[in-house]
Amino acid sequence: MIHTSHLVKQFGSFKAVDEINLEIGRGEIFGFLGANGAGKTTTIRMLCGLLKPSSGEIRIDNLDIIKHSEQIKHKLGYMSQKFSLYPDLKAIENLQFYAGIYRVSFEPALKRLEPILEQFGLSSILKTLTQDLPMGYKQRLSLVAALMHDPPLVFLDEPTSGVDPQARREFWQVINDLAQSGKTIIVSTHFMDEAEYCHRVIIMQDGREVALGNPAELKQEYGSANMQELFLKVLGVSDAKL
């Protein structure tokens, strides 16, 4: 579903993403881990076609991201790290707006998303102003907005930051269901319990890959009891620095 080779993003002389090579398959939940500034968002934005790589190649579903940008746009949904829904619109109006952007009919899209809206407890708050929703609900609404056009590939950049543990679990239940239905999920997180839910993760440091693989296999390889320990070991940092 995603192929990158020698992906690089340079801001002036600073390399934010440095030679990242990825092969991500359909239905996979793939996690981006790394400290602040490691290059997760920059990589994700390039994979979404929002940021032009300085060099290297990206193919989405076997299509070159530059040559086939229009076609690819309809294949992916993106939930940005920064909350990007309109606060002064009702929840349902934000969904309508997204349906408009992706040029899909709103009513059938809403009908299709009904099970997720129910699962998320959003059905009853659709007429609430977005700014009045608690953080957890805003994040859920952002995810639903990214699904309006039923994309096979979904990017979630720190979707659970600022969300309580119970709501995070519910969020991950939905992520799992989406992957089981065949969608490919790319997710970044600072929560190491969430890293355990990913099929594979990449750990980035200073724009580079420092580890990549299945959480269980990585833990075994590094002799770590859990992802938190693995993460610290791989990055060679102390707890205090995180």
Pick between residue 151 and residue 207 the one whose CB is nearest to ligand ATP.
207
Cβ-based neighbour number of residue 137 at 10 Å: 19
Q: Which residue has the closest beta carbon to Mg ion? A: 41
Q: How far is the CB of 79 from Mg ion (least distance, A)?
A: 12
Q: How many residues bind ligand ATP (CB under 6 A)?
A: 11
Residue 146 is a binding residue for ligand ATP (CB under 6 A): no
The strand pairing partners of 10, in sequence order, are 15
**Residue matched to tokens 């290059």:** 39
39 binds, among ligand ATP, Mg ion, none (CB under 5 to 8 A by kind): ligand ATP
Burial 107-120 (b: 16+ CB within 10 A, else e): eebbeebeebbeeb
Nearest Cα neighbor of 151 from 112, 120, 190 is: 112
Residue 205 is a binding residue for ligand ATP (CB under 6 A): no
SS3 content of the chain, % helix, strand, coil (to 5): 40, 25, 35
**What is the DSSP code string of 81-131?**
SS--S-TTSBHHHHHHHHHHHTT--HHHHHHHTHHHHHHTT-GGGTTSBGG
The strand pairing partners of 31, in sequence order, are 187, 201
Pick between residue 207 and residue 215 the one whose CB is nearest to ligand ATP.
207
Q: Which of 4, 7, 33, 34 binds ligand ATP (CB under 6 A)?
A: 34
**Which residues in the 39-68 window bind ligand ATP by CB under 6 A?**
39-42
Q: Which stretch binds ligand ATP (CB under 6 A): 36-44, 111-119, 171-179, 213-221?
A: 36-44
Pick between residue 39 and residue 151 the one whose CB is nearest to ligand ATP.
39
**Which residues in the 4-33 window bind ligand ATP by CB under 6 A?**
11, 16
Q: For residue 42, what are its two tokens?
A: 């920059």
Pick between residue 120 and residue 191 the one whose CB is nearest to ligand ATP.
191
| CB-count exposure of residue 152 (10 Å: 0-12, 13-18, 19+) | middle
- Chain contacts with Mg ion (rule: CB under 5 A): 40-41, 81
C-alpha–C-alpha distance, residues 48 and 193, integer Å: 26
Residue 156 is a binding residue for ligand ATP (CB under 6 A): no
**Which residues in the 62-121 window bind ligand ATP by CB under 6 A?**
81
Residue 189 is a binding residue for ligand ATP (CB under 6 A): no
Q: Contact residues for ligand ATP (CB under 6 A)? A: 11, 16, 34, 36-42, 81
